[in-house]
């Protein structure tokens, strides 16, 4: 049975339109702040500044980030099955360069991507490799490869840049307003309350747009991963298992969902239930599934682990939690 291509294209189109609208909203907030502070010229100069910063926006070195996590590179010798899986997924995704794969010695069930499209690193934790079977791990790797193919690191970096500029200009505007408040009161000048409210709430609105964009890119990566593997159910099972195993045993028993922000607007990731629903609506497979994804054994039965991790996740002085 093939994936329903019509449903896939409908979801993909909706995700792209939402991403575009959210980026436009963030640029609009920045333009409005420029207009409030400096008029029409402010709009022009702020957009020009944003464009220049985008061109020279520094990207954190993925190797430095891996060092902060005390991660170890997984080569074809250390992890032949993982390495061959990633190469096949990168080939299917049309990537010119296979991402580097790193092992994070942490019991957290997690995987993430850093870097750029031409210099990407995928990190998988010990907890993820021990918790998921091979089929589920392939789905997670495909999800991360999809982020690289979709250039989501750059998109989210751009959104973060506009959000930071909006917050900086809002603070500047509020500071200038406080400085001039005595003059405004003594001169009986009418106050533009719209401008004041914009200065106060623009950073919050921009942050919400950024969170919305993050959720939309996650949906897009899920859909792309399903096409890469031809097995949306594998990723769906992985998402459920990752959510179930997040937090301690006591949290899972007595405080389920404690780490999930409410309302849903404050989530950086979409609700797992909705992600699973979208994936299961696709119906496998559209492509020839990877030859080994139906095995039940996990990767760590095939690829020897680098470390044996038994400690709980903790906060580090670098600001990282793993």
Average pLDDT over residues 257-262: 44
Helical packing angle, 193-229 and 152-186, nearest 10°: 170
- The C-alpha angle 48, 51, 53, rounded to 5 degrees, equals 110
Q: What mean pLDDT is reported for the chain?
A: 76
Average pLDDT over residues 228-256: 74
Is residue 31 within 8 A of residue 46, CB to CB? The reply is yes
Has residue 33 got a pLDDT over 60?
Answer: yes
More confident residue, 117 or 113: 113
Has residue 175 got a pLDDT over 70?
Answer: yes
**pLDDT score recorded for residue 239:** 93
**pLDDT score recorded for residue 174:** 79
218 is catalytic: no
pTM value is 0.75
Per annotation, catalytic residue among 88, 136, 144, 243: 144
**Residues with Cβ within 8 Å of residue 175, at least 6 apart in sequence:** none
Structure tokens that stand for 264 in this block: 């849903």
């Amino acid at each position: 049975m093939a994936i329903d291509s019509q449903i896939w294209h409908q979801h993909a189109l909706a995700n792209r339109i939402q991403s575009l609208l959210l980026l436009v909203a963030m640029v609009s907030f920045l333009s409005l702040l420029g207009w409030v502070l400096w008029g029409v010229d402010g709009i022009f100069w702020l957009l020009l500044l944003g464009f220049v910063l985008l061109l020279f926006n520094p990207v954190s070195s993925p190797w430095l980030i891996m060092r902060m996590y005390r991660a170890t590179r997984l080569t074809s010798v250390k992890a032949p099955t993982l390495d061959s899986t990633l190469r096949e997924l990168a080939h299917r995704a049309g990537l010119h360069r296979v991402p580097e794969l790193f092992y994070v010695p942490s019991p957290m069930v997690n995987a993430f991507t850093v870097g750029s499209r031409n210099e990407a690193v995928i990190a998988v934790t010990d907890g993820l490799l021990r918790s998921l079977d091979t089929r589920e791990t392939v789905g997670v790797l495909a999800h991360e490869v999809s982020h690289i193919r979709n250039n989501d690191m750059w998109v989210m970096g751009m959104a973060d840049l506009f959000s930071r500029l909006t917050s900086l200009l809002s603070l500047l505007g509020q500071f200038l307003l406080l400085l001039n408040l005595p003059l405004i009161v003594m001169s009986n000048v009418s106050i533009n309350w719209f401008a004041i409210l914009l200065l106060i709430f623009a950073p919050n609105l921009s942050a919400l747009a950024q969170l919305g964009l993050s959720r939309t890119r996650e949906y897009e990566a899920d859909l792309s991963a399903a096409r890469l593997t031809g097995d949306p159910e594998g990723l769906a099972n992985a998402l459920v298992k990752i959510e179930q195993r997040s937090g301690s045993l006591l949290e899972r028993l007595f405080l389920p969902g404690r780490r999930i922000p409410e309302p849903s607007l404050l989530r950086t990731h979409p609700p797992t239930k909705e992600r699973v629903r979208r994936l299961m609506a696709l119906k496998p497979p559209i492509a020839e599934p990877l030859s080994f994804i139906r095995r039940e054994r996990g990767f760590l039965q095939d690829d020897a682990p680098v470390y044996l991790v038994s400690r709980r996740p903790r906060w580090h002085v670098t600001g990282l939690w793993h």
